[in-house]
Structure 1
């Protein structure tokens, strides 16, 4: 068992890496895809949106189905769907076929990603092993976006764009084969224990519509009828879902899970933190290219310290620090680093020097390697074992929503500030920099709010709750009892 569980971790991490890679690997290949397949400029955005919408919208449903049908079954099925969809995407010769394949990829990713944490915390029951496993899994996610952009460029230039999809096929087959051998079998509670069809329809349609509304904000604007109307419908669907869960005999998401302050607090903090962190990744890259004149390759290399720092800390330091000081303390330390990074970027000059003005924030962003594993630890520790798949799906859902909201909101506000200054007569570099400064200031505010949630809401899990959930926490100090994680 000790050997097979680490092999299983490698399988789970490989699947997680594919999921993250596929969200970023497409971006650098989009010009070639547009030329060969015949996308219109407006239609090309659906190469990303067709993946993001089902991925974010189906996570909660997939997590609950994992609890009912078996998390191993859900993981393997999701990888099979993703692998088949990748083959279809690489062979696509029309925009419609490629968009449909991307939608299937997003659905398969949601099925697999929703249950990964639930499987992980049941595989690793010892504190040290569990902390290391979460750190390794977090490392693959942190490194995935950067690797995807580099790998996408290499495959597109040396082979052709279909290979950004074809490369998933052998990896997917290997993941399914090894997963079938190494992942623990779990029967699940059965559909009769929680097959809330109406709740599934409400939450899935509400989330998908909400994510669609957010990703189209840049095109329509925040006050457009399109945005306000669809946003209102999305909120109504989600409100209907909440009401349904309070009255259904077998709810899709038992509201009891939200009574855990660690589950609720970790998900809120994650959504806020990732809104700021993901906006950093996008906006710093734009600043380097549009203001400082960096090439795409120079931008990737310039951002490498952040990616390497996040990966190294999550892989080599996070588990040890969590074992010694506790996940909550590690989370607050990581958030402090991120807040400091955004505070520095909010003062960035128009003619910024890399070593003086950009490298220090890049190094401080490494705090993300502390934040992400700590949030995963705290979020999963507040759930029962029977709800592990649901908690994993919920955690992944708030992650995707946080990233989508962060980019949409902060990019739109930065663009509005820039447009206003350009209209007033400012030069383009000054106007762009001012817009980015505003976005970085707001990112710091989001991260500060996440910090306050960590201070006021999150608590060290009790040993009983850890045993019930499979979550990780350091050994409670005998002279200081662990604090409860339920709301007072």
Structure 2
């Protein structure tokens, strides 16, 4: 085939499917890194002499760099090329992981985590936008995003299992070193296999004011929620961060509406289907992140599970996500409108969450936790897959990177909100329960029982809020998203013409 020959979108392309393997591997590395370090944190804290007041920075440094730089990373992918940005992100992530594994003090640890966040912000949008421009045929896209959605949803639980194994049987440092083979294999494979479609690169100059405003605004927002979790909502710095974030992000939107080559073209946000996806997905992540936290604490503190056993306890959720995403979602995505998968998916997850409001100290894993996790996984997997696909469907190739970055941004901000908001609700309910019941506990064992009951009461109170959040996410998905089936001409919804949804030509290399 000649250099200019076009590939018909329906013709099988083994290179695309090989590329998907390496993109999925990279995505798994980024997602599991969000939870794998949490399991290792107590051991790392002890080894490196990190104070209780500073230990949150192991998580916060990563979250701030990753969340703050995602839009910038997405636009870099559009400017430099997605493949190049993807490989650079993987290389940098591997080096940062090596630095973290070799850390000898807290400064080295915090620096390595921030660097992981920086390169993760390059890597994650590039990965999703590569899928968006490489898989344009409806059926192929459904399969590719089914796999990607399963990994995006279930990777966190995989991180808990892997983190437990590595911490318990090797050393906390291996939770960092394990990223290196992931990154090397994915980078080498991507370099030789990925053939990025030509003609989709954004040649506009970089919007420097937009980069500064969006980065500072998102960092302030994520840090505000992170600080609210540890210092409270009335803390002066917390309030200052929220006010600064609101001012910076409002200014960012104003600037983007005026400049010729914006960092985030407002057309990406204002199209109702993409807006609906970003909003509903962000809300679902708020519910899910809080749940991961509570279930980990419940299983380890209340039930006395080891880190490895805790990780395996999440397997039904992973199985549910894989089934929901690769079987239910993939099979139905080309037959029904996305909202008819996303809405019911979030509701099924809400039913699973509803079961968990019945948690007690002596609750049976098999009778309560297992079916609840299975429903959560099925629901989230079914909803995530069309959401990931729709978030980049119909977007102009030159905006694919920044549209992908918005998906990651909604997840990252949702995670920060979920951890802070639901943790605050849980802590308040626990304190209230213990204050009301501790007086009637005469012996030490009775007092310990009240403490445990208080913790469970806190978890269930917060989970009730998570149920409500998932119901709202389902309502938004059903009412705001109006896209038709991907194989119908109107896959991009009312906001964009069918010509925008034409398959991107793939040039033979």
Q: Could you tell me the TM-score, scaled by structure 1's length?
A: 0.91
Distance 2:274 2:465 in 1: 25
Distance 1:455 1:432 in 2: 35
Tell which deviates more after alignment, 290-299 or 86-95: 290-299
Question: Where in structure 2 are the equivalents of 1:61-140 lying within 5 Å?
Answer: 61-140=72-151
> Aligned-pair distance for 1:189?
7.2
Tell which deviates more after alignment, 151-160 or 335-344: 151-160
Q: Given the alignment, which residue of 272, 276, 279 partners 2:283? A: 272
User: Which residue in 2 is equivalent to 1:379?
Assistant: 391
The superposition leaves residues 36-95 of structure 1 with CA deviations (integer Å, 9 ceiling, x where unpaired) of 222122222211111111111111111112112211121111111111111222222121
Distance 2:160 2:206 in 1: 39
User: Which residue in 1 is equivalent to 2:263?
Assistant: 252
Alignment length (residue pairs): 473
Question: Where in structure 2 are the equivalents of 1:40-439 lying within 5 Å?
Answer: 40-185=51-196, 193-366=204-377, 367-426=379-438, 427-439=450-462
1:484 is the counterpart of 2:493: yes
User: Residue 188 and residue 241 in structure 1: after superposition, are their counterparts in 2 closer, same or farther (change >3 A)?
Assistant: farther
The superposition leaves residues 124-169 of structure 1 with CA deviations (integer Å, 9 ceiling, x where unpaired) of 1221111100011122223322222222232334433322222222
SS in 2 for 1:43: coil
Q: Alignment RMSD, CA only?
A: 2.1
SS in 1 for 2:128: helix
Distance 1:458 1:202 in 2: 29
Report if aligned partners of 1:194, 1:252 keep a CA contact under 8 Å in 2: no
SS in 2 for 1:42: coil
Report if aligned partners of 1:89, 1:102 keep a CA contact under 8 Å in 2: yes
1:450 is the counterpart of 2:467: no
User: Residue 419 and residue 236 in structure 1: after superposition, are their counterparts in 2 closer, same or farther (change >3 A)?
Assistant: same
Distance 1:168 1:55 in 2: 16
Report if aligned partners of 2:394, 2:491 keep a CA contact under 8 Å in 1: no
SS in 2 for 1:23: helix
> Aligned-pair distance for 1:194?
4.1
Report if aligned partners of 2:128, 2:404 keep a CA contact under 8 Å in 1: yes
SS in 2 for 1:325: coil
Gaps of 5+ in 2: 1-11, 439-449, 497-509
> Aligned-pair distance for 1:294?
3.7
Tell which deviates more after alignment, 238-247 or 43-52: 43-52
Distance 2:456 2:165 in 1: 31
User: Residue 184 and residue 190 in structure 1: after superposition, are their counterparts in 2 closer, same or farther (change >3 A)?
Assistant: closer
User: Residue 125 and residue 163 in structure 1: after superposition, are their counterparts in 2 closer, same or farther (change >3 A)?
Assistant: same
Report if aligned partners of 1:8, 1:182 keep a CA contact under 8 Å in 2: yes
> Aligned-pair distance for 1:350?
4.6
User: Which residue in 2 is equivalent to 1:467?
Assistant: none
1:3 is the counterpart of 2:26: no
The superposition leaves residues 409-462 of structure 1 with CA deviations (integer Å, 9 ceiling, x where unpaired) of 01111111111221223522332222222211111111111111112110124x
Q: Given the alignment, which residue of 464, 474, 493 partners 1:441? A: 464
Distance 2:95 2:493 in 1: 45
User: Which residue in 1 is equivalent to 2:502?
Assistant: none
The superposition leaves residues 369-389 of structure 1 with CA deviations (integer Å, 9 ceiling, x where unpaired) of 111112112222252222111
> Aligned-pair distance for 1:283?
1.3
> Aligned-pair distance for 1:260?
0.7
